[in-house]
A and B are shown apart, each in its own frame.
Chain A
Amino acid sequence: MSGGEQPIERRFLANSSTDVLALLGKCCYEERLATLFVPSLPEATTARFIACTGDRLLMEPEKKSDVLNTPPLSLISGVFTLDQDAYLFQTWLRQGRTMDLSKDRLIFELAAPKAVVSIQARSAYRVPIDPESEFAVIVIAAGKTIPVTPLNLSLGGVRVRLPAELGSLPVGTSLKVALKLAPITALLSATVRWAQGPIVGLIFDECVKEGELVPTAEIKELVRMLEATHLRQVFNRVA
């Protein structure tokens, strides 16, 4: 797969201390929860963002945790969600004991994370489409019927590669899309949700209403059939 074909699904905050601090600051402002994970401990701990300075991150556990008994400098990771994305940070523990900031609050003191990665939240599992698959997708836009290459399919949309002569489609473009895999054929209204060159993500208008998935019976069946095919291919690969 060439670099230009890489789908953009993740946003990275690679060692940009300004971005990371802004992100953590927002989490503290909203007192968001994170799941903390110390590799040496068998259980995760839930803690709330409290404050973040240039070099410290303070978090308040929801209940007493073994993290409190963990040696300083222990590796610690945290997972949290914000604005529908999930984030992971990795840092180290400064204080493995409680700090009494306001009488009865237990506080973890962590080194401020320098590296954070995020992953786009999804409303539906995306089934990868094998290039040899008989699954066909046709886009109908501006009076043209255009066969496209499907890359993955979910209950809410499809990612496709447009033919080179078409270039790209602007985000927000409304079109029709036909999905075919014998014996199923589905004709749906769709909107371009994102685009990167010839790779575009289409959302099925009929299948997502007010942020909730309401897939049609045909889409459910198509996803089921393609998922079964994918799993058979996975089986072959692993075996």
Chain B
Amino acid sequence: MKDNWLDRRAAEDASVVHDVETIDTILRRAADLRTFVRVLLPSGGRVFDGRIHTVTSDALFVEPINVDDTFVVPTMTLGMAQFRSGEHNCSFITWSRGSGEYRRGETLTLVEFQKPEAMIIAEGEDTIGPFDGSQPTFAWVSPQGSIRLVARSLGPHLGIFRLPEMHPPVAVGDTIGLHPSQAAPEQAVQGLVRWRHGREILLEIIDEHLALWTQHRHDAGQALPEAA
């Protein structure tokens, strides 16, 4: 029988919100928190990162980050933006009204977009990460001893890890045990390797160990500053 783990673990369906007040609330909260946003300009496939800066009655301002002096977004450019609001993934499509410098104590470069009137909201899982690749670490309880796995992201049922350069053979379908590096081996949980690319693996934690996994995931999230 085919294992439909993908469908089993898929997040809930995305839905469309086009209530103006709801969208305004989501965007203003994102602006208050200077929420990280990734913007795609489909013409040319350009992507830039930024933080939601200001929301007005008809406009949305994004402060781009890590851009140089040549950065410019022309007016009438189609833009698609994606950001997280709590446990939700939010995305929308709108037109730019151009980019420019604004003075607000300091001089800022802001990109103005027409405030979206529709938004897709996906009730994504409460995934922690992506991490920067240095922390947290888990120990794989392997026959060859303790193998260090670097966590990339930790979801309620799934974890993505990076294997060290030297590691025992691992393939899709294998089951491995792992525990936080600072925890005892008896705290290990079992995970099934569902995907592998190079040294990256995706583990699905077995149902019997989800309670323990939830605790490990919580501890890992507490130990780290929130990743962008």
Contacts and interface: CB of A to CB of B under 8 A. Distances in A.
Given A79-B78, A117-B93, A119-B94, A15 B120 contact: no
Interface string B71-91: 000011010101000000101
Which bucket holds chain A's interface residue count?
Answer: 35 or more
B141 interface: no
Interface in A220-239: 231, 234-235, 237-239
Contacts of A128: 58
A124 interface: yes
B97 A91 contact: no
Interface string A22-45: 000000000000010101101111
Nearest to A239: B104
Contacts of A12: 16, 18, 118
B93 A119 contact: yes
A111 interface: yes
A118 B94 CA distance: 9
Interface string A136-156: 000000000000000000000
A35 B40 contact: yes
Q: Which of B6, B15, B54, B198 has the most CB of A within 10 A?
A: B6
Contacts of B103: 235, 239
A115 to B, nearest CB: 4
Given A6-B20, A37-B40, A73 B80 contact: no
A79 B42 contact: yes
Nearest to B94: A119
Given A75-B89, A114-B14, A42 B47 contact: yes
A77 B6 contact: no
Interface in B99-133: 100, 102-104, 110, 112, 117-120, 122, 124, 130
Contacts of B188: none
B34 to A, nearest CB: 14
Nearest to A41: B47
B59 interface: yes
Interface in B30-76: 38, 40, 42, 45-47, 53-54, 56-59, 61, 75-76
A44 B117 contact: no
A1 B57 CA distance: 10
B42 to A, nearest CB: 4
Q: Which of A44, A71, A91 has the most CB of B within 10 A?
A: A71
A75 B83 CA distance: 11
Nearest to A16: B16
Contacts of B58: 128
Nearest to B17: A14
Nearest to B49: A42
Given A72-B194, A115-B13, A238-B54, A90 B95 contact: no
A96 B172 CA distance: 14
B14 A113 contact: yes
Nearest to B53: A238
Contacts of B120: 77, 88-90, 115-117
Given A71-B160, A115-B15, A44 B40 contact: yes
Contacts of B61: 238
Nearest to A89: B120
A238 B107 CA distance: 12
Q: Closest 5 interchain pairs by CB?
A: A88-B93, A14-B16, A44-B45, A115-B14, A35-B42
Interface of B: 6, 9-11, 13-16, 18, 20, 38, 40, 42, 45-47, 53-54, 56-59, 61, 75-76, 78, 80, 82, 89, 91-95, 97, 100, 102-104, 110, 112, 117-120, 122, 124, 130, 158, 160, 194-195, 197-198, 200, 202
Given A72-B6, A75-B89, A119-B93, 16 more contacts: A12-B16, A12-B18, A40-B130, A44-B40, A44-B45, A71-B202, A73-B6, A79-B93, A114-B13, A117-B16, A117-B93, A119-B94, A234-B112, A235-B102, A237-B56, A239-B103
7 contacts: A77-B120, A86-B78, A115-B13, A117-B16, A235-B103, A237-B56, A238-B104
